[in-house]
Structure 1
Amino acid sequence: MDVHGDKAHGFAVTDRKSITIRGVTQVGAFDEVEIYMVTVRGPLLLRGEGLQITQLNLDDKVLSVEGRIDAVQYVEEHSPQNLKQKGKNLLERLLR
């Protein structure tokens, strides 16, 4: 049994070529070099090259990404307002 209940969060990186992140509740802005997301443990920024989201299941709170992984950084400077603004980029990309 998970001590944190639905607050389970973690990630696994394989050969710096892929990453699976658990506990993702929202995905904001993303492109080939940066993906901003909110997890149950706070905002998280993923940086690299050629990043592509291969799985996004917000019901299960799982995000998988392929590409070269350079950095995984917890950030605090992004407010929920900034996430909403960045989320518009996501919608624009999906509606193209």
Structure 2
Amino acid sequence: MIDDTNNPLRFETNPYHNVVLKDRKIMELTGVKQIDSFDANEFLMETAQGWMVVQGKDLTLDKLDTERGDVVIRGLIESMSYVSNKKGGKDSMMSRIFK
């Protein structure tokens, strides 16, 4: 039995996380909990499997389904990496990522 009383409003309801990359131009993600920040060169997201950074050029948020945790990113995808699973302050994590 799952206890939902300790689960505040979350960005995703699906515990699974999948990534589909099509021709380095379209990235489809499931299991996204939140998008911390994004711009034309980088997306920082928390997924069901940890923090993820997607880097590229001309990146745009094409689809956002907050109920299911689905995200679609368009642009030239140059890299994707999982950064940290730690629950720490945003500033400390950001400083580790951009050193």
**TM-score, length basis structure 2:** 0.73
Give the C-alpha shift of residue 79 in structure 1.
Answer: 4.9
Return the match for 2:56 from 27, 48, 53: 48
The structure-2 alpha-carbon separation of the partners of 1:77 and 1:39, relative to structure 1 and needing over 3 Å to count, comes to: closer
Structure with more helix by fraction? 1
Match runs of 1:1-96 below 5 Å? 6-76=14-84, 79-82=87-90
Question: What is the CA–CA distance in structure 2 between the aligned matches of 1:77 and 1:32, rounded to whole Å?
Answer: 24
- 2:14·2:68 contact (CA, 8 Å) conserved in 1? no
For residues 64-91 of structure 1, the C-alpha deviation after alignment (integer angstroms, 9 at most, x for no partner) is 01000011100018755317xx8xxxxx
The structure-2 alpha-carbon separation of the partners of 1:49 and 1:78, relative to structure 1 and needing over 3 Å to count, comes to: farther
Gaps of 5+ in 2: 1-12, 95-99
Question: What is the CA–CA distance in structure 2 between the aligned matches of 1:12 and 1:20, rounded to whole Å?
Answer: 5
Give the C-alpha shift of residue 6 in structure 1.
Answer: 3.3
Number of corresponding residues: 80
% of aligned pairs identical?
Answer: 25
User: 4+ residue stretches of structure 1 with deviation over 3 A?
Assistant: 77-80
- What is the alpha-carbon root mean square deviation over aligned residues? 2.2
Gaps of 5+ in 1: 87-96
